Copies of this chain bind each other. A is one copy, B any other.
């Protein structure tokens, strides 16, 4: 049994915190300055409110960072400024180069570091099939926290950066092709050949694509940052970041569907094709 601090209980984070409670670990969160939605999610996840990050750092053996990609460094800085000396788990969708940079900062501040990459949706139930890939010399300690929980944890290597890289290359295809298909349909519509394309694709592929593109609009607003991280991952490895810069651009245009996701492909295309 460990004391785990979770920063912050967003849609994904709260479910990860909740999974950590399954083995009777205590999971803390810091409510100061957070939204009513966070309070609600933390309560659903049986997280214990310790009010401040300072108090969380003082009590926690492990801190999990699960936040939007852009905030990853700020979260690590805040935790380390409060003198954390336990195991810091960087669980965000960021390029491995950024993960290695944060690891250096955390380790030089006297804490241990584990890299994590989450593949799948919120892990409230095992049926969600969400996986948490972990790497680094202390990865097994973190995997043990989730043993038997709805979140399946896997240690993939001793190297910091591996878990982040796996997350990046996996999402590179799933989200990358969703963005590509969205743009292809919009270009086909603009050129007046969408019906011909869909006829050529056949009914099964067309229907699956329509569903995939429309369903994605609900989450597109938060994929832009992740696509830019994938582009950075490709560029660091010596490949063009263009695929995912274009994917970021495509998702950024779908931000208007955040509150009311599109139900049909026609709605999506009407918003993209002027």
Contact = CB atoms under 8 A, between A and B. Distances in A.
Interface of A: 96, 119, 131, 133, 156-157, 159, 161-162, 165-166, 168-170, 172-173, 176-177, 179-181, 183-184, 186-188, 190-193, 196-197, 200, 233-234, 237-243, 245-247, 249-250, 274
Q: How many copies does the complex hold?
A: 2
A192 B160 CA distance: 11
B237 A246 contact: no
A197 B179 CA distance: 20
Prevailing SS type, chain A contact patch: helix
A171 B173 CA distance: 17
B183 A243 contact: yes
Contacts of A192: 157, 159, 162, 165
Given A238-B274, A242-B245, A188 B169 contact: yes
In the A-B complex, the 4 residue pairs with the closest CB atoms: A242-B246, A165-B191, A242-B242, A240-B246
B245 A250 contact: no
Contact of A119 (B176, B186, B200): B200
B187 A169 contact: yes
A240 B250 contact: yes
Most buried by B among A186, A237, A245, A247: A237
21 contacts: A133-B196, A157-B196, A162-B196, A165-B193, A166-B197, A166-B200, A169-B184, A172-B180, A177-B180, A180-B243, A183-B243, A187-B233, A187-B239, A239-B246, A239-B249, A240-B246, A240-B249, A242-B245, A242-B249, A243-B246, A246-B246
